[in-house]
Amino acid sequence: MKIISTERSQVLAARISEKLGVPLVETKFARFPDGEMHLRCGELDDETLIVSSVVNNDMLVQTLLAIDAADRSRKTLVVPYLGYSRQDRLFAPGEPISARAVARALSNGIERALVVNIHDPGVLDYFGVPADDITIAPAIGGYVGDLRLKDPLILAPDEGAAGFAAGVAAVGGWDCDHLEKTRLSGEDVRIAPKTIDAGGREVVIVDDIISTGGTLATAACMLREQGAASIHAACVHGVLASGAYTRLRAAGISSVVSSDTYENASSFISAANAIATAIRDDAHR
Ligand code: R5P
C-alpha cells in the first residue's frame, strides 16, 4: 500500500503514513493558466490510500483527480472532512441534496470510503461503496486531559452532539451534559446545561464543527452569565470561517482547538491514530 494526499491534507496524510509504516508518495499540485487544476503523483502500488479533506471546491476537484491518478490500484478514500455534509437533506423543493451529490461523485473509482465525525451518519448511505464513520472523541478527550482542568464539565452545544460529548467525557470519567434552549418569553431564551449547573465549573464545549463560531459564542456568553469559571472549546473540524476564531475569543473562550481533519493553525489534535486504526482493522477483516 502507498498513500497519496491532496493539498490541504498533507500533514494528516504524513502522520497516517508514520502510524501505518506505509510510504507517502510525493504529489505535485499545479494550476493551468485558466485556473484548472493538475496533479502528478509518484509511482503507486496495487493498493492506494487517498487522504483528502474536501475543505473547498478546489479540494473536491483535486480528490477526483487523485482518484483518477490512482486508476490502476484498489483505492480506499479517507475524507476526514467532507465538505457539503451539512446539506444532507432536501430543505426546499428544487434544491440538490448536496451531501449526496458529493458522496456519489467521490464513490466512482474507489472501493471503500472512510469519513471522520460526519455531521449526520445518514450521509454514509449516499456513498455508492461501503462507507464508515470514525470518531476522534478519544483524541479530543486526550486533549482535555492535557488541559489539567479541575473537574471539567464537558458540554455539547445541542442534543445532536451529546453522544460525541459523552465519548469525550468517557476518557476522564468527567461530567457531561448538553445545552438546552428554553423559551422564557416572546423575546427571551435561556441556553443552559440540561441537568448540571455550570456555576463555578471549568467547562469544555465540544462539537463536530466550528464554522462561523456563532453556536459556541452564544453558548459561551450564556455560560459566563451562569458563572462558569472558565470556558474552552474543542471541535473535530475547525472550519473557522468569517472571523470565527476572534469571535470565540471575544466571547470569553480561553482556548479554541480543532483537529487536523481541517488543517489550520488551531489543529492541535490529530485524527491520524483513529484513521490508522480503522485502516488496520480493515486489513484484518
Ligand atoms: C450543528 O448542528 C453543528 O453541529 C455545529 O454546531 C454547527 O454547524 C456550527 O456552526 P457555527 O460555528 O456556524 O455556529
Closest-CA residue to 171 (of 146, 202, 145): 145
Pure H helices in 161-233 = 162-172, 214-225
pLDDT score recorded for residue 185: 78
How far, in Å, is the centroid of ligand 1 from the Cα of 99? 16
By annotation, the residues acting in catalysis are 181
CA 282, distance to chain mean position in Å, is: 21
Give the CATH number of domain 2-135+270-283: 3.40.50.2020
Assigned C-alpha cell, 49: 490510500
Count of beta carbons in the 10 Å neighbourhood of residue 30: 9
Q: Ligand 1 mean position to 158 CA, how many Å?
A: 9
Reported pTM? 0.95
pLDDT for the residue numbered 274: 98
Q: pLDDT of 89-147, one tens digit each?
A: 999 999 999 999 999 999 999 999 999 999 999 999 999 999 999 999 999 999 999 99
Atom of ligand 1 minimally distant from the CA of 214: 14
Q: Whose C-alpha lies nearest to ligand 1, atom 5?
A: 209
Beta strands in the chain (DSSP E): 2-5, 27-31, 37-41, 47-51, 74-79, 112-116, 131-134, 153-156, 175-183, 189-193, 202-210, 230-238, 255-259, 267-269
Output the residue whose Cα is nearest ligand 1's atom 9.
210
Residue 24 DSSP label: B
Q: Which atom of ligand 1 lies nearest, measured to the CA of 211?
A: 12
Atom of ligand 1 nearest to the CA of 208: 4
Q: Work out whether the CA dihedral 217, 223, 228, 232 comes out positive or negative.
A: negative
Q: Are 2-135+270-283 and 137-260 equal in CATH topology?
A: yes
Ligand 1-lining residues (CB < 6 angstroms): 157-158, 160-161, 207-215
CATH of domain 137-260: 3.40.50.2020
CA 219/CA 216 separation, integer angstroms? 5
Domain limits, the chain? 2-135+270-283, 137-260
The closest residue, in CA terms, to atom 3 on ligand 1 is: 209
pLDDT, tens digit, for every residue of 150-173? 999 999 999 999 999 999 999 999
DSSP-based three-state secondary structure for 79: strand
The answer for residues whose C-beta is within 8 angstroms of residue 104's C-beta and 6 or more apart is 126, 127, 128
Q: Count the helix, strand and coil residues of the chain and give each as a percent rounded to the nearest 5.
A: 35, 30, 35
Indicate the SS3 state at residue 128.
Answer: coil
φ, ψ of residue 79 to 5 degrees: the values are: -110, 85
The pLDDT tens digits along the chain (285 residues) read 999 999 999 999 999 999 999 999 999 999 999 999 999 999 999 999 999 999 999 999 999 999 999 999 999 999 999 999 999 999 999 999 999 999 999 999 999 999 999 999 999 999 999 999 999 999 999 999 999 999 999 999 999 999 999 999 999 999 999 999 787 777 777 889 999 999 999 999 999 999 999 999 999 999 999 999 999 999 999 999 989 999 999 999 999 999 999 999 999 999 999 999 999 999 888
Nearest CA to ligand 1 atom 10: 211
Report phi then psi at 62, rounded to 5.
-60, -35
| Cα 255 to averaged position of ligand 1 atoms, centre (Å) | 18
